[in-house]
Amino acid sequence: MTLSKSLSFGSERRKPRSCGPAAVRVLRSKDRCHYVFCRKNHVQLRMQSLSVNETPHLCAYTGSSAKADERWMDEQLFFRRLNSLCTSEEIFTFLRSLEVMSDIMASGALQRISEVEVGDDGLKNPEGVLENEVFRALCFQFELEPSRLSNTGLLNALQALIKLRVDPQSMLIASLLSESEERLGNRKLTVDNLCSLGESLLELEGPSCAMLEQIVSNMQEKDIEKWSPREMTMVYKILQVTVGEREQYRDLLNRMHRATLTIAYQLSPKFTSIILNSLVALHQTQVVPLILALCKHSVKHVPYFTDDELVNVLEAFLFFGYREQIFTEALEMHVPKSIPSMHPETVSKIMQYCCRKKILSKPILDAAAEVFISNAGSFTADQIAEYIVPFGILNYLPPNASSLYRKLETVLHSRFSQFQPHALLNLLHSCVLIQRYPVNFLPKIFSPYFLQQLQAQPPGLDRVVASQLTQLFLTVTLECPFYEGPKLLPKYQVNAFLTTHCFLDVHLFKKVKSGLLYLLKKRIYFSSEVSTPYFYTVDIEIKLDEEGFMLPAAQCEEVHTRIALCVDGQNRFCVNSHNLLGEEAIKRRHLQLLGYKVVQVKSHDRKQELFCIINIIFLKQMYFQRSFWFHFQVPFFEVESIKSCRKMAEYLHKKIFPHTYGRDC
């Protein structure tokens, strides 16, 4: 039901009629108003003349006013019965059977109707609800004299009617809003009342509503230490959309941060998600203890987060730079079995989280690959890119990689024009990182039209984009010699690749250079951070002549072999893994194809062990194979248990020179 067809109560003042079906009769006395439904059984909504801060407990006429406990029990029984009903028809039948309701009971009935009838697409049965005679009679009574309602009855009714899509311009909503504004101005509302009103205003008018700042102003006078988790969460939500980082509310935020830290363990999945989202929106990066507490607390909620809540939590983890192994383990337990029912946007965010945090989670990536193969048609172009890019960045091929990339190729053929230029470039670049060559699409990528599109959209042809284009071009040149399509023009190429993940580990780099200098005595025999003619930068380069002897680094003649020493800190690997990131894997591959001998030094190599490595490499040069295609790796997970130089020398000799091992060590 569209808003234009919403039920509009109070568009004109109704005249009292005689009692009949759906008729309303108003009975006035000196201190009471009785609103009566006329059905087979009369139902009355009795509103006593009480202070707006009091809650009226009203029941059927008994002639006695001394049974408060019975009246409270009546209300408890009412809500217990109401909450057991699952359709609006059942609720309306139940209401017809009553003789007397308090305004709190009546507003609670409206709220329950909204819970069972409002779905993601609005009201499930608009005519059956909005045109029902019981519903209309309830609304008329709330409209007639809102000043006699309790705070709870007034605000619960307003909240429910907004959710039920009652016309915001109607007399009913206007009357309830006017009364709410008056009580807000008189500072008569409790924290819970302020939260309910704020939630209603956000739903009705959005962040631009002027009353929201008035609510925040009232909140500053309240005792924050006594707020419930729901109240704390709602205030964060209001602050997020209204005040931003304005200085006058900084003290309120700081007090809230301190109080929230003490109740973080009590927060539900929903409240945890909302508060983390608010901290992101408010840029509260300085409240580290609170952020850590909420992030750690969120681990136990992973199976219970809704899709939207999980997205909020992951965005907060990314924003605050948080990563915890137990959270990854919780995701790995939950995601594979839940991923078929997850919204594609949620899975995209999970993949983005793994990618940016360099988490090689095989259970998650394998499950995502399965979902993509079976359900790619339901994903948007951007979601497809977010699904596939992590496989290349993390240098991982799932067990069904052939099916995955065949499906991707089919999707690209049918929906190529739907991809934004930068998303498409990221996607194809990630493919070549793991040796999946998109040769059928490269003519379009290297075309002037596509390059103009890249340049026209942010971030344009910056150095990262140019590096991706250049690496695509180098890949097809070295690994796809059969490619005969358009080439990338030199003006779009970079002189050196800009890597986004694989920066040097400075501490390890210094140790390696110190070790080389200690062994070789002279600095002239090696050079560091060497720019090659092939766009890559080599960490350390050593040159050999045809006989296998070292040459000065500055010498350009008689160079037969170039050794690239790769100084690989942990930042070049996936987290807690021996798996090189895609950018480093393709660099190794290309350097070998370009004629370098690649030697790898890992961050776990001890300094003494490093001397042994260098000693074996250079003092035993006569045993080197004189092939430009030689590839030598010393992975840290093979040598970390070796304790002595002699054992390390034996290991390296056996690995590098197996034919001479045992004869010359």
Domain ranges across the chain = 1-186, 190-322, 506-656
Instruction: Kindly tell me if the per-residue pLDDT of 563 is higher than 70.
Output: yes
Q: Residue 110 has what pLDDT?
A: 94
Q: At what angle do helices 307-320 and 288-298 cross, to 10 degrees?
A: 140
Phi, psi of 255 (to 5 degrees): -65, -40
Sign, CA dihedral 363-369-371-374, equals negative
3-state secondary structure string across 503-538: CCCHHHHHHHHHHHHHHHCCHHHCEEEEECCCCCEE
Instruction: Give the tokens for residue 151.
Output: 């705070």
Average pLDDT over residues 576-581: 90
Going from the C-alpha of 588 to that of each of 508, 605, 616, the distances in angstroms are 19, 19, 22
The pLDDT tens digits of the residues spanning 148-175 come to 899 999 999 999 999 998 888 899 999 9
SS3 466: helix
Identify the band that residue 210 occupies on the pLDDT scale cut at 50, 70 and 90.
confident
Sign, CA dihedral 234-238-239-241, equals positive
The pLDDT tens digits of the residues spanning 100-114 come to 788 899 999 999 999
Identify the band that residue 97 occupies on the pLDDT scale cut at 50, 70 and 90.
confident
Rounded CA-CA distance 313/253 in Å is 20
Q: Cβ–Cβ contacts within 10 Å for residue 290, how many?
A: 20
**Peptide bond connecting 486 to the previous residue in cis, omega within 30 degrees of 0:** no
Identify the band that residue 653 occupies on the pLDDT scale cut at 50, 70 and 90.
very low
Q: Quote the strand ranges of 220-301, DSSP E.
A: none
Percent over 70 (pLDDT), the chain? 76
Instruction: Kindly tell me if the per-residue pLDDT of 658 is higher than 90.
Output: no
The pLDDT tens digits of the residues spanning 129-141 come to 888 989 998 898 8
Q: Cβ–Cβ contacts within 10 Å for residue 122, how many?
A: 15
Going from the C-alpha of 636 to that of each of 167, 591, 601, 622, the distances in angstroms are 68, 21, 8, 26
Query: Which of these, 217, 235, 214, 213, lies nearest to 226 by C-alpha position?
Result: 235
Residue 562 bridge partners (DSSP)? 543, 596
- What stretch of H or E contains 412? helix 401-415
> Do 307 and 342 contact (CB within 8 A), yes or no?
yes
Instruction: Kindly tell me if the per-residue pLDDT of 23 is higher than 60.
Output: no
Query: Which of these, 525, 527, 445, 546, lies nearest to 492 by C-alpha position?
Result: 445
Rounded CA-CA distance 252/450 in Å is 51
Rounded CA-CA distance 94/41 in Å is 12
Rounded CA-CA distance 157/173 in Å is 10
Going from the C-alpha of 345 to that of each of 114, 310, 335, 339, 407, the distances in angstroms are 27, 11, 13, 11, 19
Burial of 572 (0-12, 13-18, 19+ CB in 10 A): buried
Rounded CA-CA distance 136/115 in Å is 18
Q: Measure the CA angle with vertex 485, ends 481 and 489; round to 5°.
A: 100
> Do 620 and 528 contact (CB within 8 A), yes or no?
no
Least trusted range by pLDDT, from 398-412, 438-452, 630-644: 630-644
Average pLDDT over residues 625-641: 44
Instruction: Give the tokens for residue 507.
Output: 């501490």
The pLDDT tens digits of the residues spanning 175-207 come to 999 999 999 999 889 999 999 999 999 888 888
Amino acid identity of residue 452, one-letter, is: Q
Widest CA span in the chain: 116
Amino acid identity of residue 39, one-letter, is: R
Q: Residue 59 has what pLDDT?
A: 34
Q: Residue 559 has what pLDDT?
A: 87
Identify the band that residue 245 occupies on the pLDDT scale cut at 50, 70 and 90.
low
Tokens 């067990």 belong to 399
Rounded CA-CA distance 225/236 in Å is 15
Residue 596 bridge partners (DSSP)? 562
Determine if the pTM surpasses 0.85.
no
SS3 34: strand
Going from the C-alpha of 575 to that of each of 323, 358, 394, the distances in angstroms are 10, 6, 10
Amino acid identity of residue 50, one-letter, is: L
